[in-house]
Chains A and B, each alone.
Chain A
Amino acid sequence: MILDLRNIFKDYNQDKLVVPVLKDITLQVEEGEYVAIMGPSGSGKTTLMNIIGCLDRPTSGEFLLAGTDVLALKDKELSNVRLNSIGFVFQSFHLMPRESALENVSLPLSYAGVRKKERRERALKALGRVGLEERATFMPTQLSGGQKQRVAIARAMVNNPKILLADEPTGALDSKSGAQIMELFQKLNEEGVTIVMITHDKKIADHAKQVYHIIDGEISRETGEEAHHEEEKD
């Protein structure tokens, strides 16, 4: 089991007021799964994603990532987990505006201490995986939204993480580019990458093998329908 969250609670303190955002979340994800998390705005999806991505700590609960109790790790060790085991993709891409596609993809490799020559090779390979090898020298401003997101996906995948976390990856894209991103996710998942994706969009969620709903901080699993949707898509 790659993700094992049990009884996760997350409260925010605001002006002496305790605001509960996640309430008793229990979620297990097996290796190679493709999970979508849906829910209305403000329901706590991003909050959950940050906890899964080891960017944030829950107020209480247990969380094992690939068998490791990450809540017991120090900040520096958490950085290493993020570097090696997790890939992040965001709605707004978050590319370094003054760096080329290749340099953007190389960034995690330089944190991993990979040498320059190998960095270049691996970044080019990752760009190849998202079909943008010939755009390597382009700057973000010279790329379309869909291409930017693919560069971001290449960056997320370049260290070969176990799990890819995507927070509304198609939220800023038109439906055609969104569909391309979904195809790419499909392909990555078939190659064995575990994907956890947040989305508002039912159609997008339908690409996943498994869909969860978060409503007001509580999670529930969608049942019975996923097989049906998958047939429909094919």
Chain B
Amino acid sequence: MFENIRLSFKGIWSHKMRSFLTMLGIIIGIAAIIAIVSTIQGTNEQIKENLIGSGDNTVEIALYQGDWTYEMGYEGVPAGVPVITPEILKQVKEIKNVDNASLYLSRQDYGGVYHLNTALSGGYVIGADENYFDTCNFIIKKGRGFTEKDYKDFRKVALLDKESADALFQGEDPLGKTVEIRREPFVVIGVVAKSKQFEPVINTMEDYYTYSQDSAGKVYVPDTVWPIIYQFDEPQNLVIKVASTDDMTNAGKEGANILNSYLNTGDDTIKYKAEDLLEQARQIQELGKSTNSMLIWIAGISLIVGGIGVMNIMLVSVTERTQEIGLKKAIGARRSNILGQFLTEAAVLTSMGGILGVVSGIVLAEIISKVSEMPVAISVPAAIGSVIFSMLIGIVFGMLPSYKAANLNPIEALRRE
């Protein structure tokens, strides 16, 4: 076996050019597969990271009308959506793997939030309950958070996040200054941030639309003052925090079910739904998969073509080495010895092609990532799998030439001078 591998390397080395050209089909096929897989992997990981990457394991459950979140601004307060009582909230907190749950009100307010003449366009106003900042893993960056007294006394105080602070104050210190929400003045008492800061990577316009809402600024007020700026009895949203990322889907569904059981809207399309980030990530990934699996098929065909090339050259090589084969048989080589020698040679040749293919694929992937600024992730299993697969191609396509060699008639082989 080792002897055969040694001989194979010798043979391949003595025909460097020919061996390289023979391997080329395999190299190109494997390189293409590695490059494609690396970009898929990279994109997938990024999608997942963008959507759930903040890693705070929170699921938001909001009221939907059909496929869209219920828009208070246009629709008004819907009938039959009861206030979520502390008892209902307690029920939600008892769901398995749920660590915490909070209620909040939310509006995307175009042109309703100002500091002097600067508007926070497309920003959100969030009416948070006392638990909200804890549940969502916020930390106070500047100033202070809301106190019990702020809630009880309906104080018009606001917290900003970095985006809204930047947009409204443009570098000025916002503490103690006033923000107008629907013409009501609010005093900025602090700036908050998620404890784990996370910036989604934006490569394309689609990414931008998918993730841009996350980067719109938010202004937080105590939920008790909400009716001053908006209306009474607006439907609440729920945010729950679960133990691990994998619990998000389930806890979200159960939470939505509990809330829905209290609905009495007479309209089936109005329902609480969990924003299922894992599922969303999966769907975006699926979308990419179908186009990419096509590319992999094409690369697979190039591998088969490469395999046929190997077979072709091996057949030529058997003819060229007829004398050698005859001699070996004369001095006692069994059919299996000859078969083993040629199969090993084919397998070594294509494995080398596979290794070169993996290397060029990685280089290609890195170039793609540099040029198009797409993320790549090199998959080790894919690399190992590719080399093993190329070896199999060598064995499969080396079969015919090897059998031909093993079955050569030694007399005819020796007679040929």
**Chain A contact residues, CB within 8 Å of chain B:** 46, 50, 53, 55-56, 75-76, 79-80, 82-84, 87-88, 90, 92, 94, 96, 98, 107-108, 110-112, 155-156, 159
Contacts and interface: CB of A to CB of B under 8 A. Distances in A.
B327 A75 contact: no
A110 B411 CA distance: 22
A101 to B, nearest CB: 15
17 contacts: A55-B329, A55-B414, A56-B411, A75-B335, A76-B334, A76-B335, A79-B329, A79-B335, A80-B334, A82-B332, A83-B333, A87-B331, A88-B330, A98-B11, A111-B328, A112-B332, A155-B331
B332 A92 contact: no
B10 interface: yes
Contacts of A96: 324, 327
A79 B333 contact: yes
A92 B324 CA distance: 12
A117 to B, nearest CB: 13
A90 B327 CA distance: 9
Identify whether the interface residues of B are mostly helix, strand, loop, or mixed. helix
B4 to A, nearest CB: 9
Contacts of A53: 330
A75 B334 CA distance: 8
A98 B411 contact: no
Interface string B330-356: 111111010000000000000000000
Interface residues of B, number: 21
Nearest to B14: A98
A98 B320 CA distance: 14
A107 B11 CA distance: 16
B143 to A, nearest CB: 79
Given A92-B417, A96-B324, A55 B334 contact: no
Given A55-B411, A92-B417, A98-B10, A156 B332 contact: no
Given A88-B330, A94-B414, A112-B332, 10 more contacts: A53-B330, A55-B330, A76-B334, A79-B333, A83-B333, A107-B328, A107-B331, A108-B332, A111-B331, A111-B333
B185 interface: no
Contacts of B333: 79, 83, 111
A4 B323 CA distance: 29
Interface of B: 3, 10-11, 14, 323-324, 327-335, 337, 410-411, 414-415, 417
Contacts of B323: 94
Contacts of A107: 328, 331
Contacts of B328: 107, 111
Contact of B331 (A46, A50, A76, A108): A108
Most buried by B among A50, A112, A156: A50
Contacts of A94: 323, 327, 414
B410 to A, nearest CB: 5
A79 B414 contact: no
A52 to B, nearest CB: 12
Most buried by A among B10, B11, B329, B332: B332
A150 B41 CA distance: 62
Contact of A82 (B10, B330, B415): B330
Given A55-B411, A94-B327, A96-B324, A83 B3 contact: no
B329 to A, nearest CB: 7
Contacts of A80: 332, 334
A126 B330 CA distance: 19
Contacts of A92: 417
A46 B329 CA distance: 16
A50 B326 CA distance: 12
A170 B225 CA distance: 114
A159 B333 CA distance: 13
A151 to B, nearest CB: 13
B332 to A, nearest CB: 3
B411 A111 contact: no
Nearest to A46: B415
A156 B331 contact: yes
A157 B130 CA distance: 97
A79 B10 CA distance: 26
Contacts of B415: 46
Contacts of B410: 55
